[in-house]
Each structure stands twice: as structure tokens, then as C-alpha cells.
Amino acid sequence: MVNEAGQQLVVIPNPISKTDKGTIIRTIVLIVASFNQAAAIFGWTPLPFGEDSVTAIINGGYEVVTVLLTVIAGVINWWKNNPFTPEAKQANEIMKQLKAEAKQASLIVSQLKKEANK
């Protein structure tokens, strides 16, 4: 949004939205995977399947499965933006607005270029 002086304005949303379900789910999966990985290191099997059942499918498997689960959950949580604080949620909303405005401006510029080339 631009004011009369041509300055970029950002509308700050109020109230701040709740933490989205994806952020909560990714965080829970990472916590469970990390706990399970730590337990596997100490020789415990906290998940409802044991090493015997997993090794029947994958040779030497329980540790492999838990490491893969932890790595995958960690990479997904690292890659995704998981805002928890009100400030982070507000920053995400501002970023979405700016991206939408930039996309709109890009479309207008491309249309003007097409018209200029006619």
C-alpha cells in the first residue's frame, strides 16, 4: 500500500493470529523424534515398536529409522518458518503483504512492457 506521498505503507495486522497447526505439528514431531533419538542412543525403545520388529524389515534398523526420522523432522523444521512469538507472527503477516504487493507490481510492469513492445 502506498500513501499520497508515494511512501510504502505496511498494514500491521491486529490482533495477531494464533500459531498455525503446521507449526505446532512440525514442532511436536521434532520433539518426539529428538526424544526417541536420545532414547535410542541410551538403548531404550520408547516407541511402541521394538528393535526386533524393525530389524525384521530393515537390517540393523531401529537406529537407522530413528536417525532418519530425527534428520527429516529437523530439516523440515529448519526449512519452514515456525513463528511462535507475537512479533514473529506479525513479521510474517507484513512479509506476506509485501510479497503480494511486489507480485502485483511485477505483473503491472510486465503488462506495461508488453504494451510498450506492441
pTM of the prediction? Answer: 0.44
Residue 48: CA atoms inside 13 Å, Cβ hemisphere, count?
0
Q: Which residues partner with 2 through β-bridges?
A: 8
Strand, coil or helix: what is 25? helix
Q: Residue 66 has what pLDDT?
A: 75
Closest CA to 26 of 82, 87, 92, 68: 82
Q: Residue 110 has what pLDDT?
A: 87
Q: Residue 20 has what pLDDT?
A: 76
What tens digit of pLDDT does each residue of 7-37 get? 666 666 555 667 778 878 888 888 888 887 7
Q: Residue 69 has what pLDDT?
A: 82
Q: Residue 61 has what pLDDT?
A: 61
Phi-psi category of residue 3: left, alpha or beta, with phi > 0 → left and psi -120 to 50 → alpha: beta
Structural contact between residues 39 and 33, judged by C-beta atoms closer than 8 angstroms = no
Residue 117 main-chain phi, psi, to 5 deg: -85, -5
Q: What distance, in Å, lies between the first and last C-alpha atoms of the chain? A: 30
Q: Which residues of the chain have pLDDT under 50?
A: none
Q: Residue 16 has what pLDDT?
A: 60
